Amino acid sequence: MMVHIGEKPYACDKCDKQFIHSKSLKLHMMIHTGEKPYMCGKCDKRFYRSDKLKGHMMTHVVEKRYVCAKCDEQFCHASSLKLHLRIH
């Protein structure tokens, strides 16, 4: 019922975020603690959410079609290349 009335009883004591479910607060707290329980088996990068790991895994299996003309680094997504280009 809390979803329908907009009540968010679970508040983060580190920032101003509030949540409907205690599980969401627990997941959010990993941002503050640095806890990253999900590790990529291919490159050892770590993530605090399993869906972020799943998205990352695509970088290992999908053909990298977007190449930086300045440094030859390759990307799976045009948006990743666009972000990368900011460093040049």
Predicted TM-score (pTM) above 0.75: no
- Domain range list for the chain: 38-87
7-65 pLDDT tens trace: 999 999 999 999 999 999 999 999 999 999 999 999 999 999 999 999 899 888 878 88
40 within 8 A of 56, measured Cβ to Cβ: yes
Question: At the top level of CATH, which class does the domain 38-87 belong to?
Answer: alpha beta
> What per-residue confidence (pLDDT) applies to 3?
54
Element (H, E) at 23: helix 22-33
Q: At 47, is the secondary structure helix, strand, or coil?
A: strand
Does residue 1 have a pLDDT over 60?
A: no
